[in-house]
Copies of this chain bind each other. A is one copy, B any other.
Amino acid sequence: MSRLQNSARTEGASPRALNFGAGPAALPRAALERAKEELLDFESSGMSVMEHSHRGKPYEKVHYEALALVAKHLGLSAEWDVLFLQGGASMVFATLPMNLLERGKVADYVVHGTWGEKAVTEARAATSLGAGDVHLAASTVAQGGSYARVAREDELTLTPGAAYLHCTSNETIHGIQYGLEASTPFPRSRAKGVPLVVDMSSDILGRTVDVSEFDVLYAGAQKNIGPSGVTIMAIRKELTARGRSDLPAIFQYRTHAEHHSLFNTPPTFGIYLVRNVLQWLEAEGGVSVIEVRNRKKARLIYAQIDESGGFYVSPVEKPSRSVMNVVWRLPTPELETRFVAQAAAEGMVGLNGHRVVGGIRASLYNAVELEWVEALASFMGEFARRCG
A355: nearest residue on chain B (CB-CB)?
A: B55
- Chain B residues near A89: list those with CB within 8 A: 264
Interface string of A242-258 (1 = CB under 8 A from B): 00001111110000000
Which residue among A93, A263, A270 has the maximum number of chain B CB atoms within 10 Å of its CB?
A270
For the complex, count residues of A whose C-beta is within 8 A of B: 76
A335 at the interface (CB under 8 A from B): no
- Chain B residues near A26: list those with CB within 8 A: 47, 51
CB proximity of A95 to chain B, nearest CB, Å: 9
Q: A39-B39, A87-B86 are in contact. Are A227 and B267 (CB under 8 A)?
A: yes
A16 to B88, CA, bound (A): 34
Q: A25-B51, A270-B270 are in contact. Are A129 and B247 (CB under 8 A)?
A: yes
A50 touching B36, Cβ below 8 Å: no
A106 at the interface (CB under 8 A from B): no
Main secondary structure of the interface of A (DSSP, over half): loop
Which among A7-15, A69-77, A149-157, A175-183 touches the partner chain? A7-15
CB proximity of A19 to chain B, nearest CB, Å: 6
Copies per complex of this chain: 2
A352 to B93, CA, bound (A): 39
A52 touching B21, Cβ below 8 Å: yes
Q: A36-B36, A129-B247, A229-B268 are in contact. Are A15 and B46 (CB under 8 A)?
A: yes
B32 touching A88, Cβ below 8 Å: no
A53: nearest residue on chain B (CB-CB)?
A: B21
- Chain B residues near A349: list those with CB within 8 A: 45, 47
A355 to B53, CA, bound (A): 13
A248 touching B52, Cβ below 8 Å: no
B264 touching A90, Cβ below 8 Å: yes
A138 at the interface (CB under 8 A from B): no
B268 touching A227, Cβ below 8 Å: yes
Give residues 225-253 of A contacting B (CB, 8 Å). 227-230, 246-251
A331 at the interface (CB under 8 A from B): no
